[in-house]
């Protein structure tokens, strides 16, 4: 069973029947920022309810601890399949780590 460590700022994203760890490392957040623009602006868009589905999927993709055997489309499909309400919990964890800093 895959477990996320909340003390490290990790979250769990369910893709199909499997849980995958989202780990917001420095490298992952730099890659996300390269694609999505400045992270503070991303957090502001999220706070204002203006975060797009593609942005959520991209952030999750970059933060996946292990992408082996996964595609980016699978991550986006998982977000849609579980719905935005279920995706909000891991998103909140990642955004909190952006604001507070990675432990």
pLDDT single digits (tens) 13-36: 999 889 999 999 999 999 999 999
Strands (E), 6-52: 11-15, 18-22
Assign 3 to helix, strand or coil: coil
Compute how many other C-beta atoms are within 10 angstroms of the C-beta atom of residue 50. Answer: 10
For the cut 70, the answer to whether the pLDDT of residue 1 exceeds it is no
pLDDT, one tens digit per residue, over 64-99 is 999 999 999 999 999 999 998 899 999 999 999 988
Rounded-to-integer distance, Cα 11 and Cα 89, Å: 8
46 touches 73 (CB < 8 A): no
For the cut 60, the answer to whether the pLDDT of residue 5 exceeds it is yes
**What's the confidence (pLDDT) of residue 61?**
97
For the entire predicted model, the pTM comes to 0.92
**What's the confidence (pLDDT) of residue 103?**
54
List of long-range contacts for 64-67, beta carbons under 8 Å, 24+ apart: 64/13, 64/20, 64/21, 64/22, 64/23, 65/10, 65/20, 65/21, 65/22, 65/23, 66/20, 66/21
pLDDT, one tens digit per residue, over 33-57 is 999 999 999 999 999 999 999 999 9
């Amino acid at each position: 069973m895959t477990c996320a460590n909340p003390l490290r700022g990790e979250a769990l994203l369910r893709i199909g029947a499997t849980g995958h760890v989202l780990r917001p490392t420095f490298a992952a957040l730099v890659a996300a920022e390269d694609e999505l623009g400045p992270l503070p602006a991303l957090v502001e868009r999220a706070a204002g309810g203006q975060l797009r589905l593609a942005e959520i999927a991209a952030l999750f993709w970059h933060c996946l601890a292990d992408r082996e055997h996964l595609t980016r489309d699978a991550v986006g499909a998982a977000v849609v399949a579980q719905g935005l309400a279920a995706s909000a919990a891991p998103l909140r964890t990642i955004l909190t780590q952006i604001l507070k800093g990675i432990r």
